[in-house]
Amino acid sequence: MQDKVSAPTKTKAKSKTELRAKPTLFIDGEAGTTGIEIRDRLAAVDTVEVRSIAPDKRKDPTARKALMAGVDLVVLCLPDDAAKEAVGLASELGEAAPRLLDASTAHRVAPGWAYGFPELDAAQSKVIAGAKHVSNPGCYPTGAIALIRPLVDAGLVPADYPISVNAVSGYSGGGKSMIESYETGQASSFELYGLGLEHKHVPELQLYAKLTRRPIFVPSVGNFRKGMLISVPLHLDALPGRPTGGDLEAVLEQRYAGSTYVKVVRAADPSAKGGRLEAEALNGTNRLELRVFANEKHRQAVLVAKLDNLGKGASGAAVQNIGIMLGVEV
């Protein structure tokens, strides 16, 4: 007896992603530092297909637009103005436009763009998963926001507290000219910069840390390629309720409990080296470590974040967001 054949049913048209064996992406600006790192990190991943443009077509709007039309996600690894132009190209595709992940500073505080720090709060990963446009966080704000935002949310640090953020990064975060100056021995061993107090990361840091008062941000660069430390000093007696260092640490631990990439490390951990902390231990990873160093005798504390400025501070975070946006393991 023949099996019964069900009557055909109407099905909803499948999306571009559903029709393909695996989702596809195009890195617009893949020859830059961040783009190269993203490609390298995706090289061992078989859940996405990376499509490239011919080197002689990288600045050809028509060729780029055509490639955008054929992929699910475009990652923008471009200077700010070029990133804005790329968004304009994609928008011309209308309903066929791909989703966008922008690694530049251009859209980090722009309306309509989701902030690509999944650990920002309990809901942010879901926000990223459903967003059409996602802005990848800056390296410095990633560490500073991770330290400050939970304490503001918990009421331990007032939103109008006069926050100061100090940071040091490897020279790879400074672009081609800085990289060349260090690798050819022309640069100083260490230098402060951004002393006009107009660093482009400050608006992002202030917004997502939920600060109502503009923080003072003092960045610096050292003679090492990758690695980053961000520190936030606090006078404990100037905070509501006069918390201890342990209170601050407990809030951070609660916020990031179960997080894959963000961990709170007790200051007594051997890696703290008795009051010293170096910047390069997390290089090549997507990890972010947070520490609270407190002196209860003097009622002072220093919050410290450690990360790879090209990892969780740039390309590693981008790959994490790619996975969330496309719903795949990366």
Active-site annotation, residues? 139
Query: How is residue 86 written in tokens?
Result: 């790329």
Q: Please state whether beta strands 24-28 and 49-51 pair in parallel, antiparallel, or not at all (unpaired).
A: parallel
> CB–CB of 240/267 below 8 Å?
no
Which residues fall within 8 angstroms of residue 7, CB to CB, at 6 or more apart? none
CB atoms < 10 A from the CB of 295, how many?
A: 11
Position 43: which residue type?
A
Q: Which amino acid is at 9?
A: T
The pair of three-digit structure tokens given for residue 182, joined into one six-digit string: 């260090």
Q: Which two tokens stand for residue 307?
A: 């990360």
Q: Which amino acid is at 46?
A: D
Q: Single out the residue of 81, 47, 137 nearest to residue 318, CA to CA.
A: 137
Q: In angstroms, rounded to a whole number, what is the distance separating the alpha carbons of residues 152 and 43?
A: 39
The answer to whether residues 265 and 307 touch, using CB atoms and an 8 Å cutoff, is: no
